[in-house]
Structure 1
Amino acid sequence: MKKILLFLSAVMFLFFPMNIHAEEMVTVRLFQNIEETSELDIMLKGGYFSLNPFFQFEDGVNYSLSVKKGKLVIKGNGQKQVVEGSVYIVPEKYDVDHQILINNHPYLGAMEFAVENNQFIRPINQLPLEDYLKGVVPLEVYPSWPIETLKAQALAARTYAVAHINDKMDDTIRFQVYGGYDWKASTTKAVNETKGEVITHKDKLINAFYSASNGGVTESNANVWGGNPEPYFPIKEDPYDPTHPWEYSLHQEQISLDNVDWTDSKCWDETEEVDQKITNTMKKKLQKNGYPGDIKIVSIPTFELSKDQYDSKRSRKGSITIQFLHRLYDGTVMLEEYELKDVEINRIRPLIGGDLFKSYLIDSLDFQNKTYTMQGRGYGHGVGMSQWGASIMGQKGKSYQEIIQHYFPGTTISKY
């Protein structure tokens, strides 16, 4: 794979204009709006050539890609071709008029269509770093935010990308959200006006972490991911972050077993939990943790936090017990229990879902009327830059250099 990507880079340099030859190339696996699928529709705008000699794609023609018995099948323009391995497509000229549309979503640069796990199609996009960032920044922040805020985000995104450029990056929050050729004028301007700038400490790239909101208190990297604490990730009050308070509730009893008519053949399908958004998340996690098959969450007998906290007042540990019905493939239904006792809280949060359990800066977890209610502040890990805090700083007239110094103290803005 690495040799192929290096070859693609060489091909791109041969055909792309001179002004991008000095740019770093980014390779990103595409999951957004694709997930795991065995079928894709593509169309090309502008001239492209395929590195697969037996099939060439034409401008403006709709093609379908599918996986059959571990091989790619390409159909379109009255042709059909079965390909063993990947399909590679490279633009004859690199510019915004040459686009690859995947399920009607446009991308620039070269594209590999690989077979993943012998059954799924995985598009892998390769393009210059700066244009990759133009597809990242508008999805990580609001393009309507102040230009200095957008520049600070561009620096954080560029630094993060360069630091991870040899990793198998994808287009999700596991790395940075990337939307292809979905550029906005304001964020493109921010990328262009900071071109090549990165954040360094002692002449080394930092991991420029950021999250939506730190809840008013930044966090140390060591408290989130372990390792040594970095001086540019201190725990300190953040007067600019708007705190973003949040709250969610979870009923202890999700299904009253006394009210289920087990003689009814439809009872399993018709029985539903009280808090389905949370229980659906729980089911997915349980299925990935050794409980395959159908699941119904019956109750959450215990859910509590340890008094142990970090200096940032973020919670460290907690406990939860989940009782559930587990229907095996042969139809047998068993009452099971899944317990996490005094564990790191990052093992509990995925059971609830990060869009509800938004951070570890938790103010309270109460239990009244057989209902758990958790209240907290912030959205995300809290390390590095608060995106909402940066937006407030921009509104107050702070420059992007001041924003970077506030959230990454002691660092330097350097040319990459």
Structure 2
Amino acid sequence: MRQNLKMRKLAVVLLLVILAWEWSAGCRRPEQKPLRREPETEFRYTEPEITLYDNATGQKKRIKFEEYIAGVVAAEMEPTWPSEALAAQAILARTFTLFKIRYEKGVPQHGADASTSAEEFQAYDPGRITPQVREAVRKTRGEVIKYRGRYIRAWFHSNAGGRTATAVEGLNFTKEPTPYIKSVEDPGQKVAKPEAKAWSASFPVDEVRAAVIEQTGRDPGAITVASIPKKGLSGRAVTIRLGKATISGAALRTALGPDKMRSTLIDRLELRDGVLHMAGRGYGHGVGMSQWGAYYMAEKGRSYRDIIHYYFKDVTIDKIWK
């Protein structure tokens, strides 16, 4: 009996010694800081519904997320294009939507997650949905693009004119770093339709002057000189000098009309007889994925994953619902 008691006491003492040693050793270990992760909406692998505002009717409706994405892909890209190009567009549309909802509260002016306006959100036209679009959305279901656990700004454009742009260069975007955006050679110029390959436009100087004032709040005065003081990696006009004012190329394009001044990849800029004449290449801001580039790559047998990783650097393609 006494022997058993002694053994129990010895076991307790040994246990206390071991615990004391582990505690002291633990105190000497460097502090393990938790990884900082950007909080995301938890879908628990279930497709969500969103509230969609119809700009034509002023009505809101609930719609399944993937059904909405099909309508976006059909509106933003030619619905008969190769499957892998449509699939890449589907992932960009899904990522764009979730970024806007998660970080910018969707379209709060309408009290909705999304709208049917291309200016406010994304283009949307369910009437253009084809079997090819359905298949592209189905095979990428729930897939999004992330950089270090956070949805990216999923920019895209029609054709880069030979080389894509950084966010600062193409969009004058300085709100936050976008290290996943890179400037790469774009094969879209090889296959783009003429209207997306090259452009020219002319603007009366009075219209240009009003555009500069609208965007900068500064009056350039009489516009008798025009030049491009700074170009970016892709050759785009980062800044444009007009009279006494300097404006970003992206801002001038917005003010003059992106369907007229189709890009900031300007090959010719001259004043003649009170008119500003321009000519350039590409169509769109040139940032992110070139749609005509995606078309070319898909035709050459590249997958949608290849396309996304070509245009976006160090990103992951994550499936967030089944």
State whether TM-score is above 0.5.
yes
* Structure 2 residue aligned with 1:139: 75
How far off is 1:251 after superposition?
4.6
Which structure has the larger Rg over C-alpha atoms?
A: 2
Q: Would the aligned equivalents of 2:79 and 2:129 in 1 still touch at CA under 8 Å? A: no
Quick check: which one's helix share is greater? 2
* Structure 2 residue aligned with 1:310: 232
Question: Residue 208 of structure 1 is aligned with which of 134, 137, 154?
Answer: 154
| Map 1:145-160 → 2, pairs under 5 A | 145-160=81-96
| Map 1:182-331 → 2, pairs under 5 A | 182-223=128-169, 224=171, 225-242=173-190, 244-251=197-204, 301-302=223-224, 304-320=226-242
Quick check: which one's strand share is greater? 1
Question: Residue 301 of structure 2 is aligned with which of 397, 403, 406?
Answer: 397
Change (3 A) 1:415 1:317: same
* Whole-Å separation in 2 of the counterparts to 1:155 and 1:183: 16
| Map 1:336-351 → 2, pairs under 5 A | 341-351=245-255
Identity %: 32
C-alpha RMSD of matched pairs (Å): 3.0
In structure 2, the gaps of 5 or more residues are: 1-44, 108-113
* Partner SS state of residue 94, structure 2: helix
Q: TM-score, normalised by structure 2?
A: 0.70
* Structure 1 residue aligned with 2:106: 167
* Whole-Å separation in 2 of the counterparts to 1:282 and 1:180: 40
How far off is 1:289 after superposition?
10
- Aligned-partner residue type, residue 391 of structure 1: Y
* Whole-Å separation in 1 of the counterparts to 2:211 and 2:151: 37
* Whole-Å separation in 2 of the counterparts to 1:287 and 1:235: 30
| Map 1:324-403 → 2, pairs under 5 A | 341-368=245-272, 370-403=274-307
* Whole-Å separation in 1 of the counterparts to 2:209 and 2:132: 40
User: CA deviation digits over 1:78-100, x for unaligned, max 9?
Assistant: xxxxxxxxxxxxxxxxxxxxxxx
Q: Would the aligned equivalents of 1:27 and 1:127 in 2 still touch at CA under 8 Å? A: yes
Q: What is the number of equivalent residue pairs in this alignment? A: 256
User: CA deviation digits over 1:118-152, x for unaligned, max 9?
Assistant: xxxx2223211100011110110001111111111
* Whole-Å separation in 1 of the counterparts to 2:270 and 2:211: 26
* Structure 2 residue aligned with 1:82: none
User: CA deviation digits over 1:284-312, x for unaligned, max 9?
Assistant: 9989999xxxxxxxx97446233212222
* Partner SS state of residue 355, structure 1: coil
Flag the structure with more relative contact order, 1 or 2, with Cα contacts below 8 A and sequence separation at least 6. Answer: 2
User: CA deviation digits over 1:335-363, x for unaligned, max 9?
Assistant: xxxxx711223332233211010111111
In structure 1, the gaps of 5 or more residues are: 1-20, 35-101, 103-121, 255-278, 291-298, 322-339
